[in-house]
Amino acid sequence: MKITKSILHLINLILKGANAQKVREQAELVAKLYDESLEKNPVTYRFLLKNASADDYLRFDPLSGTNSRFSNEPLFRLLKAIEVCRDEFTTLLLCRILMGFVTQCGSSASEVVRQKLIIRMDGTNSLIRCFLSYFRLAAVEGSVVDILTSLLIMLAQQARNARMFGKSEKFVTGILAAIVDGAMDASVVARLMEMLFFIIKFRNRAIMSLLESQSIFSVLLRVFDEHFQQRFVAPAHLEICAFAVTSLSNLARLRCHREHLVSADAQKVFQSAMLIICKDVESVENLSPLTTSFAVEFQVKVVSGLLSF
């Protein structure tokens, strides 16, 4: 397939360290070929399951200094290309291809198999490194962070893999900094909050200590309060609130953490929110149908979370 050769050539250019203009030109060519029909066609991704040793586009091995048994395989090279690429357009395109490989190739069971294959190839760390590199760019597009976050959340469904997220101190502090910064779109912050939820859910001592050192209780309460005030601006704000409450609920399972919540004045924040929710319910007839639908759905989650403390 023409699309296969074009993608492999793009990956090869990135791993060879070709100049940015050449990489972008090839990425634009791939983007034109990679239309909706190809994106949803399982045949498009077959090349990622084949050993690439005999493929002309993959004879160059930029990883020859490593002992990885995957270094010659297309999927591994795609993951490495995502890790080292610093062009937003190209990174977004490669992530779309990776997402298509996982989600467009069969049943949910098949999807899990592909997720595990990515994890076995150390794909989680490749995505984390890419994620962190874009966080350092002030003008990064939300769409790049959004799809990287979606891929990482997808991989976090595996409990052992979710713990891996917590082992990267820069990753955790980067997520917290981005959530608190407020510069990103609410939809992206919601995905970051979801990722933080998984990190907290599969907690270990090291990550709990790190989170406590970052004042996680105060951070989550502040995030809840700020986004609750914007709950009718966009559905993502209430989704953020729901993840904040659920994360705090998981943290509050330990008695020592409940003491942190008391000292962070959680009761005052939540009592105020409960009063506002009651008023919202009373005036629900004044809201548009779409806003009402989202408000009711997420407020139920918020209330349920509040009552679990």
pLDDT digits (tens, 9 = 90+) for 131-175: 888 765 545 556 888 899 889 888 877 656 656 666 677 788 888
pLDDT greater at residue 211 or residue 69: 211
In a domain, 166, yes or no: no
* pTM of structure: 0.76
Three-class SS of residue 281?
Answer: helix
**Structure tokens that stand for 254 in this block:** 């330990």
Following DSSP, what letter does each residue of 123-178 receive, concatenated?
Answer: HHHHHHHHHHHHHT-TT--HHHHHHHHHHHHHHTTSHHHHHHHHT-HHHHHHHHHH
In a domain, 278, yes or no: yes
In a domain, 177, yes or no: no
Q: How many domains would you assign to the chain?
A: 2
Do 143 and 274 lie in a common domain?
A: no
- Whether the per-residue pLDDT at 233 is higher than 60: the answer is yes
- What is the extent of the structural domain holding 10? 1-52+67-157
Do 78 and 208 lie in a common domain?
A: no
At residue 110 the predicted structure's pLDDT band, cuts being 50, 70 and 90, is confident
Give yes or no for a contact between 238 and 302, defined as CB atoms under 8 angstroms apart.
yes
Q: Residue 51: which region, alpha, beta or left (left: phi > 0; alpha: psi -120 to 50)?
A: beta
- pLDDT tens per residue across span 57-72: 334 344 444 445 566 6
Do 24 and 87 lie in a common domain?
A: yes
At residue 97 the predicted structure's pLDDT band, cuts being 50, 70 and 90, is very high
Summarize the confidence of residues 1-27 as an average pLDDT: 94
Give yes or no for a contact between 265 and 201, defined as CB atoms under 8 angstroms apart.
no
At residue 54 the predicted structure's pLDDT band, cuts being 50, 70 and 90, is very low
Give Cβ neighbours of residue 226 (< 8 Å, ≥ 6 apart).
182
In a domain, 164, yes or no: no
**pLDDT value of position 270:** 76
pLDDT greater at residue 228 or residue 142: 228
Do 233 and 115 lie in a common domain?
A: no
Give yes or no for a contact between 187 and 142, defined as CB atoms under 8 angstroms apart.
yes
- Whether the per-residue pLDDT at 277 is higher than 70: the answer is yes
Do 235 and 89 lie in a common domain?
A: no
**pLDDT value of position 301:** 57
Percent of the chain at pLDDT > 70 equals: 73
- pLDDT tens per residue across span 112-124: 889 888 988 889 8
Do 28 and 143 lie in a common domain?
A: yes
Summarize the confidence of residues 273-290 as an average pLDDT: 67
Which of 157, 183, 217 is the last residue before a domain boundary? 157
**pLDDT value of position 12:** 96
Do 302 and 217 lie in a common domain?
A: yes
Do 139 and 23 lie in a common domain?
A: yes
- Whether the per-residue pLDDT at 93 is higher than 70: the answer is yes
